[in-house]
Structure 1
Amino acid sequence: MSETSPRLFIVSPHFDDAVFSCGALLAAHPDAAVCTVFAAPPEQEMHTEWDEKSGFTSARQAIHARTREDDLALEVLDAIPLRMPFRDDQYMDSPSIARLAAALEETIYRSTANTLLMPLGLHHEDHVRVFEACCEILPRLSHLTWFAYEDAIHRCTPGVVQARLADLAQRGIVATPACPSASHTIDLARRTQLKREAVNAYESQLRAFGADHYDDVFAAERYWQLSVGRRGKK
Structure 2
Amino acid sequence: MSETSPRLFIVSPHFDDAVFSCGALLASYPDAAVCTVFAAPPAHEMHTEWDALSGFGSAHEAVHARTIEDNNALAALDAIPVRMPFRDGQYLDSPSISTLAAALEEIIYGSTANTLLMPVGLFHSDHELVSDACCEVLPRLAHLAWFGYEEAIHRRQPGVVEARLEELARRGIVATPARPDALHTIDPARQAILKRHAVNAYASQLRAFGPHGCDDAFAPERYWQLSMTHRPARHAGK
Question: Same fold judged by TM-score > 0.5?
Answer: yes
Match of 1:93 in 2: 93
Question: Aligned AA for 2:50?
Answer: W
Please give the alpha-carbon distance, in whole angstroms, between the structure 2 residues aligned to 1:122 and 1:44.
29
What's the TM-score, normalizing by structure 2? 0.97
Distance 1:179 1:30 in 2: 17
Aligned to 1:31: 31
- In the alignment, which residue of structure 1 is the partner of 2:63? 63
- Runs (5+) with no aligned partner, structure 1: none
1:131 aligned partner: 131
How many Å apart are 1:183 and its aligned residue? 2.5
Identity %: 74
Alignment match, 1:197? 197
Partner SS for 1:158: coil
Q: Match of 1:141?
A: 141
SS in 1 for 2:174: strand
Residue 185 of structure 1 deviates from its aligned partner by 4.6
TM-score between the two structures when normalised by the length of structure 1 = 0.99
Show the counterpart of 1:20: 20
Shift in alpha-carbon separation, 1:50–1:175, aligned structure 2, 3 A = same
Q: CA deviation at 1:205?
A: 0.3
Other-structure match for 1:118: 118
Residue 212 in 1 paired to residue 218 in 2? Answer: no
User: Partner of 2:117: helix, strand, or coil?
Assistant: strand
Tell me which residue corresponds to 1:168: 168
State the AA in 2 paired with 1:43.
Answer: A
Counterparts of 2:213 and 2:65 in 1: how far apart (Å)? 22
Deviation at 1:211, TM superposition (A): 1.1
Name the SS for the 1:106 alignment partner: helix
1:76-128 CA-to-partner distances (Å, cap 9, x unmatched) read 00000000000000000000111000000000011000000000010001000
Unaligned stretches of 5+ in structure 2? Answer: none
Aligned-partner Cα distance in 2 for 1:225–1:211:
33
Q: Could you tell me how far apart the structure 1 residues matched to 2:45 and 2:133 are?
A: 28
Q: Tell me, in whole angstroms, the C-alpha distance in 1 between the residues paired with 2:104 and 2:90.
A: 21
Change (3 A) 1:155 1:67: same
Match of residue 231 from structure 1 = 232
SS at match of 1:174: strand
Runs (4+) of structure 1 moved beyond 6 Å? none
In the TM superposition, what is the alpha-carbon distance from 1:22 to its structure 2 partner?
0.1
Q: 1:35-69, CA deviations, whole angstroms, 9 ceiling, x for partnerless residues?
A: 00000000100010000000000000000000000
